[in-house]
Amino acid sequence: MTNPIPLHSRHRSVLPDWLALYYDRPVELTHGEGRHVWDADGNRYLDFFGGILTTMTAHALPEVTKAVAEQAGRIIHSSTLYLNRPMIELAERVSALSGIPDARVFFTTSGTEANDTALLLATTYRRSNQILAMRNSYHGRSFSTVSITGNRGWSPTSLSPLQTYYVHGAVRTRGPFAHLDDTAFTAAAVADLEDVLGQARGGVAALIAEPVQGVGGFTSPPDGLYGSFRKVLDRHGILWISDEVQTGWGRTGEHFWGWQAHAQNGPPDIITFAKGIGNGMSIGGVVARAEVMNCLDSNSISTFGGSPVTMAAGVANLAYLLEHDLQGNARRVGGLLLERLRAISATVPAVREVRGRGLMAGLELTKPGTDQADPDAAAAVLEAARAGGLLLGKGGGHNTSVLRIAPPLSLTVAEAEEGAEILAEALRTLN
Ligand code: PMP
């Protein structure tokens, strides 16, 4: 029997108001294949938001589906307490890929829990609850992670277990260093970091940063900035945590991890990851130097983190993305897409900037000729693109006025062209 009450009304009557949905008429997705998804009305969409970056490789990828089904059919049990073959296999691969010498891996079920674990490690290791975070950042929804989130729209409490200092450096086009060249920008950001450190009382535990800010609207500093920060941090023994929840696994095209664009003074002490690694299955985790990972002197385990089923998905997905060089695909197809987006946007005055790396592209919309963010324009383009058969994302610290594009990494050139055409049409509605 079908329920006569529309699904959206049911959503609203039982779920919190802050669980906001995209679109005036929210979409119910029923299935996906490759880079496409279908809704309950039978409409087909090209997915340029990759299930908010969770669908790393492709929808319903047979290799991952098979691995999940086989493992689920064999055993789903505690992630810990007993030997867990898929967890060890994934940890070996992640550890080897991390770039951190003598790395250990701990699996969680989300990015939030991964960052929460990184904070637990860093504050314990350094015996300090002082954290440096970037303005406009997003690191999760738990009590600890909202208190290191610089994007005010995503930080619902000012009560905090941590003492957080925010530093400049992640946003190029706004704020006090806007429009400085790379060298001057880096020097100004390093000076700001030094200044903030001068104000911190006692030792600071860690700096946490997203190499490319995701929720913040795909903004990134000049290459090498976090490496320059690292030099300052090293003088104080402060740890560097790279939040790779959006940038990991080759999405930025040039590198496997986002931190590798900032590698001149060595790797981070801790990397956190989540989202795409399980191609939609809930995997998060932390990689850290053994000395840092092993600083906890009491038990800390997770019932579902490292579940054999999600780990099997991770092993299969990682193998697929390495074998098919999806990082290279992100670089090639992402480069073409960015070029197309720049060409299209040149004729749309509302697009203030097109930016991105690999298959992460952002279009910042403002009231034409001004710096004033235009969330209504972003919402209008999102609706128009949907009507044309394209799903996009939104982001940005300025009232979500940045259109975000992050398709599955297997996007083809033809699909990139198709999506760019639909987006061009949607943007034209603003002129
Ligand atoms: N860090 C970053 C950079 C993120 O983008 C997100 C999710 N948007 C998180 C952490 C939190 O991940 P999750 O939603 O899996 O808790």
Q: Is 43 part of any domain? A: yes
Q: Is 244 part of any domain? A: yes
Residues 34 and 105 in one domain: no
- Please write the tens of the pLDDT for every residue from 98-116: 999 999 999 999 999 999 9
- Please write the tens of the pLDDT for every residue from 184-200: 999 999 999 999 999 88
Q: Which of 299, 323, 347 is the last residue of a domain?
A: 323
For residue 319, which phi and psi values (nearest 5 degrees)? -60, -45
What pLDDT sits at residue 77?
87
Hey, which of 116, 142, 245 would you mutate to test ligand 1's pocket, going by the most ligand atoms within 8 Å of its Cβ? 245
Q: Which of 287, 308, 323 is the last residue of a domain?
A: 323
Residues 273 and 388 in one domain: no
* Mean pLDDT computed over 378-393: 98
Atom of ligand 1 nearest to the CA of 115: 10
- Please write the tens of the pLDDT for every residue from 210-234: 999 999 999 999 999 999 999 999 9
Express as a percent the part of the chain with pLDDT over 90. 90
Distance from the CA of 22 to the center of ligand 1, in angstroms?
A: 18
Confidence of residue 401 (pLDDT cuts 50, 70, 90): very high
The yes-or-no verdict on residue 83 having pLDDT over 60 is: yes
Distance from the CA of 245 to the center of ligand 1, in angstroms?
A: 6
Nearest CA to ligand 1 atom 12: 111
The yes-or-no verdict on residue 1 having pLDDT over 60 is: no
Q: Which of 323, 352, 375 is the last residue of a domain?
A: 323
- Please write the tens of the pLDDT for every residue from 164-188: 999 999 998 888 898 899 999 999 9
Residues 72 and 127 in one domain: yes
Annotate 161-208 with DSSP letters as a single string: SSEEEEES-S-SSSSTTTT--HHHHHHHHHHHHHHHHHHS-S---EEE
Distance from the CA of 348 to the center of ligand 1, in angstroms?
A: 31
* Mean pLDDT computed over 414-419: 98
Number of domains within the chain: 2
CATH number at residue 378: 3.90.1150.10
Q: Is 258 part of any domain? A: yes
What pLDDT sits at residue 93?
98
- Please write the tens of the pLDDT for every residue from 232-268: 999 999 999 999 999 999 999 999 999 999 999 999 9
| Among 131, 136, 2, 54, residue whose Cα is nearest residue 310 | 54
Cα 327 from Cα 93, distance rounded (Å): 16
Q: Contact at 8 Å (CB) between 204 and 238?
A: yes
* Mean pLDDT computed over 381-407: 95
Residues 381 and 417 in one domain: yes
The yes-or-no verdict on residue 305 having pLDDT over 80 is: yes
Q: What is the largest distance, in Å, between two alpha-carbon atoms of the chain?
A: 67
Residues 268 and 384 in one domain: no
Residues 319 and 338 in one domain: no
What pLDDT sits at residue 3?
66
Distance from the CA of 343 to the center of ligand 1, in angstroms?
A: 31
Atom of ligand 1 nearest to the CA of 213: 3
Length of the chain: 431
Distance from the CA of 346 to the center of ligand 1, in angstroms?
A: 32
The yes-or-no verdict on residue 163 having pLDDT over 60 is: yes
The yes-or-no verdict on residue 395 having pLDDT over 90 is: yes
Confidence of residue 2 (pLDDT cuts 50, 70, 90): low
What pLDDT sits at residue 431?
87
pTM above 0.95, yes or no: yes
> Which residues line ligand 1 at a C-beta cut-off of 6 Å?
110-112, 115, 138-140, 210, 214-215, 243, 245-246, 274, 284
Q: Can you state the percent helix, strand and coil of the chain, rounding each to 5?
A: 40, 20, 40
Show the domain range for 388.
7-57+326-428
Hey, which of 138, 210, 400 would you mutate to test ligand 1's pocket, going by the most ligand atoms within 8 Å of its Cβ? 138
The yes-or-no verdict on residue 307 having pLDDT over 90 is: yes
Distance from the CA of 200 to the center of ligand 1, in angstroms?
A: 27
What pLDDT sits at residue 397?
84
Q: Is 106 part of any domain? A: yes
* Mean pLDDT computed over 90-100: 98
Residues 238 and 369 in one domain: no
CATH number at residue 273: 3.40.640.10
Distance from the CA of 274 to the center of ligand 1, in angstroms?
A: 7
Between β-strands 390-391 and 206-209, what pairing exists: parallel, antiparallel or unpaired? Answer: unpaired
